[in-house]
Structure formats: structure tokens, C-alpha cells
């Protein structure tokens, strides 16, 4: 099965609560590559690359996040033609 790339945008109380760090740990556990980035509007963007089942597991996890986060919404798009994500999972 070929790797897919998804971009997620998570809104709510997701900055300053170890959301990116926790996302990196979960993505690494699932064998995904990509990055998590704080955005100026207070949301977090996650780019993830891997197999469909791992991406689905990450999507479900993003709706919860770490214990101190309060996720309001997760939007998602499949990315076509994106440059290759990093070899591992980065926090940016």
C-alpha cells in the first residue's frame, strides 16, 4: 500500500499544552512521518505521511489530544503533490 499524506488543522486549546510534543510521540508510535506546527491563530497544523490505518489512528487521537488540551475541531485534507515530509516527525 502506498503512503498517503494528510494535513490536519486542530482548533481549541491546543497551544501551550504539549500538543505538538504529544502528537510527535503518537505519530512516531504509529510509524508516521511529518511535522506539527503552531499557527498564528492559536491552532496547530499537522502534516502526516504513512499508511491509511496509521493516519486514521492519528486522526482519532487528534480529536482528543493530550490530557490538558481541549480540542474543538479537526479539519483534514488529503494532500496531492506535496513534497516529501521529513524522515521522522518534527516539531516546528
- Which of the residues are catalytic? 20, 38
Tell me whether strands 89-91 and 44-50 are parallel, antiparallel or unpaired: unpaired
Distance from C-alpha of 19 to C-alpha of 13, rounded to nearest angstrom: 9
Question: For residue 49, what are the β-bridge partners?
Answer: 5, 33
* Cα distances (angstroms) measured from residue 43 to each of 11, 19, 50, 67: 5, 10, 23, 17
Amino acid at each position: 500500500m502506498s503512503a498517503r499524506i494528510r494535513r490536519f488543522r486542530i482548533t481549541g486549546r491546543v497551544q501551550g499544552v504539549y500538543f505538538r510534543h504529544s502528537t510527535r510521540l503518537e505519530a512516531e508510535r504509529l510509524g508516521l512521518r511529518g511535522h506539527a506546527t503552531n499557527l498564528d491563530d492559536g491552532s496547530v497544523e499537522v502534516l502526516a505521511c504513512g499508511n491509511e490505518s496509521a493516519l486514521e489512528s492519528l486522526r482519532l487521537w487528534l480529536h482528543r489530544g493530550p490530557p490538558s488540551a481541549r480540542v474543538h475541531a479537526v479539519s483534514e485534507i488529503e494532500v496531492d503533490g506535496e513534497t516529501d515530509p521529513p524522515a521522522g516527525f518534527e516539531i516546528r
